[in-house]
Amino acid sequence: MKLKLIGAITVAIALLASTVYASAPLDAARVTEALKTRLPKTAVSAIDCNKLDGLCEVVAGNNLFYVDGKARYLFVGRVYDMETRQDMTAAKLLEINPSMLLGGAAGAGGDESQEISGIAQAARNAGGVESAGTQRKIDLSQLGKTGAIIWGKPQGEPVTIFTDFRCGYCRSLAAALETMNVKVIERPISTLGTRDISNKVYCAKDKAKAVLAAYRNDPLPTSSCDTSGLDANEQFARAHGFSGTPIIVRKDGTVLVGYRPKEFLENWLKGGS
């Protein structure tokens, strides 16, 4: 997987910021004033300079981005805690807007954030980062049978989905697939720190019922089993850049990022564009 520019910029800025500013706490008030000058059309809702070493997390409406202590460097991207294996950006975005789609870019949108959108889009264009609408193919044969939860119609059109049980759009996708003639091969991945829920669903006696119960936020019994298949799901997802959910894959390996309604899926699963 080739390194794309936005990823390199994110890593470089994070390293620079942590090196320069880790020795002293960041001043949120100073950052706020600097942003008023640099992004005069962007209404900042909140700034947290205590969550990440050397970086301030900035919320502007439904938008999220990060800056250094002088608000000189700005990046729109995802921040991962490798110790807890949590996508911190996705968790914050879900907190800002519980119904939002987490499969797309963790970036800016809406009229109030055109300045941020312009910066992010320039970086994506320069680095060749694929958009959510770009269709690519993956080889699902690299994944074993473990880690998959099969539900739906046994003789239906097969469709593989990578999901998180606390993702609102994953819940909507599951509800749509439940009404279609499809065989769902669900591979849970924890993008929102929900591995415990995935373990309970995967270890349930009736996994198909447990899937639907998890999406309804119903309590799940605790049981233990070999969950190495879930580890394989997450490793595969990381290797292919699946940083959000849902990810939909049809039988020819074509990837679709994000939720789509039933009418679209029925055509797409048959080979439609």
Tell me if 133 is assigned to some domain.
Answer: no
**165 and 257 housed in the same domain:** yes
Whole-number pLDDT of residue 113: 55
Neighbours of 57 (CB within 10 A): 19
Tell me if 81 is assigned to some domain.
Answer: yes
Closest C-alpha among 56, 52, 53 to residue 30? 56
For the stretch 62-103, pLDDT in tens is: 788 999 998 888 888 778 777 665 667 777 776 776 555 444
Tell me if 273 is assigned to some domain.
Answer: no
**96 and 194 housed in the same domain:** no
Token couple for 159 = 């469709």
Structurally, the chain folds into a number of domains equal to 2
For the stretch 15-40, pLDDT in tens is: 454 444 444 678 999 999 999 888 88
Tell me if 184 is assigned to some domain.
Answer: yes
Whole-number pLDDT of residue 83: 66
- Alpha carbon distance 269, 250 (integer Å): 6
Q: Which of 92, 127, 162 is the last residue of a domain?
A: 127
Range of the domain at 161: 140-268
Tell me if 70 is assigned to some domain.
Answer: yes
Q: Which of 64, 98, 127 is the last residue of a domain?
A: 127
Per-residue pLDDT tens digits of the chain, which is 273 residues long: 444 444 545 545 554 544 444 446 789 999 999 998 888 888 889 999 988 888 999 998 878 899 999 888 888 877 877 766 566 777 777 677 655 544 443 444 444 455 665 555 554 444 433 444 456 899 999 898 899 999 999 999 999 999 999 888 899 999 999 999 999 999 999 887 889 999 999 999 999 999 999 999 999 998 899 999 999 999 999 999 887 889 999 999 999 988 888 999 999 998 887
Tell me if 89 is assigned to some domain.
Answer: yes
Whole-number pLDDT of residue 106: 42
Omega of the bond prior to 246 within 30 degrees of 0, cis? yes
Q: What one-character DSSP code corresponds to residue 264?
A: H
**56 and 146 housed in the same domain:** no
Whole-number pLDDT of residue 114: 59
Q: Which of 69, 101, 127 is the last residue of a domain?
A: 127
List CB contacts of 100: < 8 A, sequence separation 6 or more. Answer: 62, 93, 94, 168
Closest C-alpha among 78, 100, 99 to residue 89? 78
- Alpha carbon distance 9, 246 (integer Å): 26
**122 and 152 housed in the same domain:** no
Tell me if 222 is assigned to some domain.
Answer: yes
**87 and 162 housed in the same domain:** no
0.85 cut: is pTM over it?
no
Residues for the chain: how many in total?
Answer: 273
- Alpha carbon distance 143, 236 (integer Å): 7
Tell me if 37 is assigned to some domain.
Answer: yes
